[in-house]
């Protein structure tokens, strides 16, 4: 993206809905003079239409007078619009040639095609939103799960921005105190207590927000869970229980599942790609062997492995080894608990794929395992952008440096410099301090019309 092409004084237009046939398509415009320019193509009276109210009329080719479409147009007067500029939104019929014709008319009328993210870019430079909110717009558009979307909506309302502003306030107060000490170096003012408590608080808060990146990723991208274990343990039965449908074939014949099956499920809003796999046993059948090889491969790539044990039969050596391995990655499931009379080993979750007993405890254990790396993540403030995470890490390392410098009795000008770094990183997150690089990486990933 080149900023010269991002001139905010230009009048821009773009299709805001997908480029596909649909019932209704929305064309968005922005820039001073938009209302007048659209009005010249419109049979209704857009100039006297109230802001944010729909106005009905025909779009006409001003030269030929031909009517192109029957539409609803909404004028927005500055600053009461998404971009903060004068804008018009056009609700037209979703035929591709029709949309194309209207866009061509607009382009002939002095609008230019908007670049990806340009509407949001304008909202940002007009102070309508800070960078964390601008990023949230993109995340809302691309979020796969309902939970991910509601987290992005939270960001849009500024939860992350509020947290960052708290950090900034603390750091600014600290910086002011350092500045006073720099201005009056010799005992004229008594040196205040070093702000160790504030630094520790800031560290905790920053770490929480950094950890929340994992949570955001999980809801956004989902996790892979594989059911594994010996033949006949009940993997396919559990798979069906997770799906709440009879997808996988269940039978008492060992080796029923030969190739893996997969399905998306939602585990309390977490998108999960669940795999049912071929039972692990020695086999001379080359097809079953291949199935087992694939199972092992899947187990390596899964974030969570549910290793299913058959509660009604003797444990194998491999299973015993797993049970006694304290550092195992697998979650062990003791299936057929409804008819098992054997002692359940410690740390193994009893369930019945037939009666459903123990299933909610299993779900809880799976969720806990998924979030194991992000324990204590920060409430509703969840970040979902690598850019924000890296800047938070930079701020954290700055805070740690200040702490270290205090412990080592370094002079206050060194502390002030490290603290400046912290403020700089925090400022970049919300966009007060911003390089053109940020603009490029951020806004160019948007879709046109946003
Ligand atoms: N009573 C009881 N029977 C179960 C339970 N889970 C599975 N079964 C029975 O155990 C047998 C094997 O179940 P599957 O789900 O096919 O086992 P699997 O692990 O997929 O077996 P393979 O595909 O051969 O590896 C079937 O007859 C199921 O009805 C359970 O919790 N309780
Ligand atoms: Mg099976």
Distance 115 CA to ligand 1 centre (A): 56
Q: Is 345 touching ligand 1 by the criterion CB < 6 Å?
A: no
pLDDT band at residue 438, thresholds of 50, 70 and 90?
very low
Report whether residue 385 contacts ligand 1, using a CB cutoff of 6 Å.
no
Q: What is the pLDDT of residues 14-43, one digit of tens each?
A: 999 887 788 899 999 999 999 999 999 999
Q: Is 336 in the pocket of ligand 1 (CB under 6 A)?
A: yes
Given this model, what pLDDT does residue 50 score? 95
Percent of the chain past pLDDT 70, that is, above it, reads 87
| Ligand 1 site, residue 277, Cβ cutoff 6 A | no
Judged by DSSP in three states, 110 sits in: coil
Q: Could you tell me which residue, 399 or 146, shows the higher pLDDT?
A: 399
CA trace torsion 120, 124, 130, 133 (10° rounding): -10
Task: Name the fold adopted by 3-129.
Answer: Gyrase A; domain 2 (3.30.1360)
The DSSP secondary-structure symbol of 373 reads G
Does pLDDT of 138 surpass 80? no
Per DSSP, helices labelled H in 226-285 are 235-243
Q: Best mutation site among 228, 232, 307, 339 for ligand 1, i.e. most ligand atoms within 8 A of its Cβ?
A: 232
Helix (H, G, I), strand (E, B) or coil at 344: coil
Is the model's pLDDT at 433 over the cut of 80?
no
From 227, 228, 231, 236, the mutation candidate for ligand 1 (largest count of ligand atoms within 8 A of CB) is 236
3 state SS of 416: helix
Pairing assessment for the beta strands 331-335 and 270-276 based on DSSP bridges: unpaired
Is the minimum distance from the CB of 132 to ligand 1 under 6 angstroms?
A: no
Strands across the sheet containing 67-76:
55-60, 67-76, 87-94, 22-30, 12-15, 112-113
Q: Which one is predicted more confidently, 429 or 237? A: 237
The pLDDT of residue 189: 58
Average pLDDT, stretch 279-296?
A: 90
pLDDT the model gives residue 393: 94
What local confidence, expressed as pLDDT, does residue 435 receive?
A: 44
pLDDT at 133 > cutoff 60 = yes
Q: Which residue owns the Cα nearest ligand 1 atom 1?
A: 336
Q: Compute the distance between CA of residue 99 and CA of residue 21 in angstroms, rounded to an integer.
A: 10
Q: Is 335 a pocket residue for ligand 1 (Cβ < 6 Å)?
A: yes
3-state secondary structure of 348: coil
Task: Yes or no: say if 113 and 13 are a contact pair by the CB < 8 Å rule.
Answer: yes
CA angle 433, 437, 441 (to 5 degrees): 115
Cβ(235)–Cβ(277) under 8 Å?
Answer: yes
Residue whose CA is at the smallest distance from ligand 1 atom 16: 250
Where does CATH 3.40.50.300 sit in the chain?
131-431
Cα 289 to ligand 1 centroid, rounded to whole Å:
20
Does the pLDDT value for residue 365 go beyond 90?
yes
Tokens of 128: 């309508």
Handedness of CA 277, 282, 284, 289 (dihedral sign): positive
Please report the pLDDT score of residue 374 as a whole number.
58
Query: What is the chain's mean pLDDT, rounded?
Result: 85
Q: Which helix (H) or strand (E) holds 274?
A: strand 270-276
User: What would be the CATH architecture of the domain defined by 131-431?
Assistant: 3-Layer(aba) Sandwich (3.40)
Instruction: State pLDDT tens for residues 384-426.
Output: 777 888 889 999 999 999 999 999 988 888 888 888 889 888 8
Distance 278 CA to ligand 2 centre (A): 6
Which pLDDT score, from 0 to 100, does residue 4 have? 44
pLDDT at residue 434, as a whole number: 46
Q: What is the position in ligand 1's atom list of the atom closest to the CA of 335?
A: 31
**What number does the ligand 1 atom closest to the CA of 351 have?**
31
Residue ranges of the chain assigned to CATH 3.30.1360.120: 3-129
Ligand nearest to the backbone CA of 280: 1
Report the range of poorest mean pLDDT among 103-117, 173-187, 232-246, 416-430: 173-187
For 112-123, what is each residue's pLDDT tens digit? Answer: 888 777 888 788
Of 263, 257, 311, 301, the closest CA to residue 279 belongs to 257
Dihedral (CA of 96, 97, 98, 104) sign: positive
Report the C-alpha gap between 85 and 107 in whole angstroms.
18
| Residue at token pair 């944010």 | 52
Question: In this structure, what token pair is assigned to residue 368?
Answer: 């806990």
Predicted confidence at residue 431, as pLDDT, reads 72
Is the CB–ligand 1 distance for residue 316 below 6 Å? no
Tell me the pLDDT band of 111, cut-offs 50, 70 and 90: very high
Mean predicted confidence (pLDDT) in 226-249: 94
Would you say residue 254 has pLDDT above 90?
yes
What does the pLDDT average to over 278-287?
90
Q: Which ligand is nearest to the Cα of residue 231, counting in written order? A: 1
243 pLDDT more than 50? yes
């Amino acid at each position: 993206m080149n900023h010269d092409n991002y001139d905010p004084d230009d009048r821009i237009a773009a299709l805001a809905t997908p480029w596909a046939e649909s019932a209704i398509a929305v064309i968005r415009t922005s820039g001073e003079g938009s209302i007048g320019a659209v009005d010249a193509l419109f049979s209704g009276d857009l100039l006297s239409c109230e802001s944010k109210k729909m106005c009905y009329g025909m779009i006409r080719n001003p030269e030929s007078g031909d009517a192109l479409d029957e539409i609803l147009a909404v004028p927005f007067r500055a600053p009461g619009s998404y971009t903060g500029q004068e804008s018009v939104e056009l609700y037209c019929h979703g035929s591709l040639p029709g949309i194309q014709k209207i866009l061509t008319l607009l382009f002939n009328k002095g609008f230019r095609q908007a670049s990806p993210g340009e509407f949001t870019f304008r909202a940002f430079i007009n102070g309508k939103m800070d960078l964390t909110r601008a990023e949230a717009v993109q995340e809302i558009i691309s979020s796969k799960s309902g939970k991910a979307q509601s987290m992005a909506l939270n960001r849009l309302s500024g939860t992350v921005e509020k947290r960052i502003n708290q950090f900034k306030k603390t750091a600014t107060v600290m910086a002011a105190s350092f500045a006073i000490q720099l201005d009056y170096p010799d005992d004229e003012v008594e040196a205040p207590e070093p702000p160790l408590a504030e630094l520790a608080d800031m560290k905790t808060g920053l770490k929480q927000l950094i950890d929340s990146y994992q949570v955001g990723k999980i809801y956004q991208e989902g996790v892979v869970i594989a059911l594994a274990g010996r033949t006949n343990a009940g993997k396919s039965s559990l798979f069906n229980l997770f799906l709440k449908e009879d997808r996988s074939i269940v039978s008492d014949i060992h080796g029923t599942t030969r190739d893996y099956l997969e399905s998306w499920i939602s585990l309390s809003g977490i998108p999960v790609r669940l795999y049912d796999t071929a039972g692990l046993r020695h086999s001379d059948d080359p097809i079953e062997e291949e199935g087992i090889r694939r199972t092992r491969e899947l187990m390596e790539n899964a974030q969570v492995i549910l290793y299913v044990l058959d509660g009604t039969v003797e444990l194998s050596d491999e299973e015993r080894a797993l049970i006694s391995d304290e550092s195992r990655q697998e979650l062990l499931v003791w299936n057929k608990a409804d008819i098992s009379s054997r002692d359940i080993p410690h740390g193994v979750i009893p369930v019945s794929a037939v009666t459903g007993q123990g299933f909610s405890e299993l779900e809880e254990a799976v969720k806990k395992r998924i979030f194991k790396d992000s324990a204590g993540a920060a409430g509703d403030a969840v970040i979902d952008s690598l850019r924000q995470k890296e800047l938070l890490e930079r701020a954290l390392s700055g805070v740690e440096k200040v702490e270290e410098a205090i412990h080592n009795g370094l002079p206050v000008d060194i502390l002030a410099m490290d603290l400046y770094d912290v403020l700089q990183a925090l400022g970049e997150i919300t966009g007060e301090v911003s390089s053109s690089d940020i603009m490029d990486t951020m806004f160019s990933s948007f879709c046109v019309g946003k």
